[in-house]
Amino acid sequence: MILTVTPNPSLDRTYEVPSLDRGEVIRATGERMDPGGKGVNVSRAVAAAGQRTVAVLPLGGAPGALVADLLDQQGIEVAPVPVAGATRSNIALAESDGVLTKINAPGPELSGAERELLLETVRRQSRDASWIACCGSLPRGLAPSWYAELVARAHAAGARIALDTSGPALLAALRERPDVVKPNAEELAEAVGRPLTTVGDAVKAAEELREMGARAVLASLGADGQLLVSHEGAWFGSARVAAVRSNVGAGDSSLAGFLIAGGNGPDALASAVAHGAAAVQLPGSVMPTPSDLDPAAVTVTAEVPADRVLKEPVS
C-alpha cells in the first residue's frame, strides 16, 4: 500500500480551449472535474495501476466533500482530516498546442489542532504502508518545517518517505534525510540557487541535494526526460511521445510509477518515465492505466548525456 499525504488538496476544473485570448470569450471544447493536489494525483495514478492506496488529506466545505466523493468513485480510500475552511478550487486552461495555464487558489488556513490531527492521521494510516508520498505545497498555518517533522516521525516509525515539494519546505526537510525527493527542473535550480542549462548541470544539482540529506533524487526535466541519482549511481531516462495533450499531473504519475516499481534503481526509473509519458498524452489530469503504458518507447541508461542542452533551460 502506498500512503499519500496532501496538505493542500483541491478540486480541479480543467477546460480544453483552442487558444487563450486575453479579454475574449473563449468556448471550451472539453472539460473535466477532478480531485487535485500532488499527493491526490499520486494516489489516483497508483489506483489506476491497480494497486492499493490511501489518501490522507484535510477536507472542508462543499469542495472538500466533492473531492472525497470523486476519490471514492475511483476506488481510492480516503483518510479525511476535517478542517473548518473550505478546500480550494483550481482552474486549468489547456490549449490545443499543449500550453497549460493554471490558476491555483491559496486554500484554507489550518489551526494548531488541525495540524496535529493531520500528523496523527498520517501516523495511524502508515502502519501498512510500503511508502509514504508527501506531496505539494503547504497551506496557510503550516510552517516550512512541517514536512521535516513529518519525515522525522515517519522514519522513527520505520516508514520510507518520498517527498515532492519545493522552496523552503524542501530545504527544511532535507535535514531529515527523505528516502527520495522529486523536484522538477525549476525546483531543482531553485534549491541549488543557480541556472540549469544541460543535463550535466541537473546531475550536479541532484548530487548537491544528496549532500544536503536526500538519499535519492528523482528529477523531472520535462521534455528532456528524467534523472535518478542515488548512492548507486546516476541514470537518465527518456521516452518517445507522439503528442502532448496535457501535462497536468504527469510528474505525479511519474512518482507513482517509481514507487509502484519499488522506488529504487533503473527499473523504477523506467516505470516513472513510462507513466509520465503516458500521462502527458491523456486529457486533463487523467492518470494512465497499464494499457496506456508503452515500455518499448522508454530508454534508460547509465551513460548520462551530461553535455546535452536542455530544451527548456531553467534560469
Q: Which residues are catalytic?
A: 252
Alpha-carbon Rg for the chain in angstroms: 18
State how far the alpha carbon of 16 is from the alpha carbons of 64, 65, 96, 232, in Å: 24, 25, 7, 42
**CA-based nearest residue to 254, from 192, 164, 174:** 164
Element (H, E) at 217: strand 216-220
Cell of 34: 477532478
State how far the alpha carbon of 187 is from the alpha carbons of 23, 154, 163, 192, in Å: 31, 24, 13, 9
State how far the alpha carbon of 43 is from the alpha carbons of 53, 195, 207, 301, in Å: 6, 32, 28, 28
* Interaxial angle between packed helices 38-48 and 61-73, expressed in degrees from 0 to 180 and rounded to the nearest 10: 20
Query: Cell 473550505 belongs to which residue?
Result: 86
CA 30 – CA 19 distance, rounded (Å): 13
Single-letter amino acid, residue 121: T
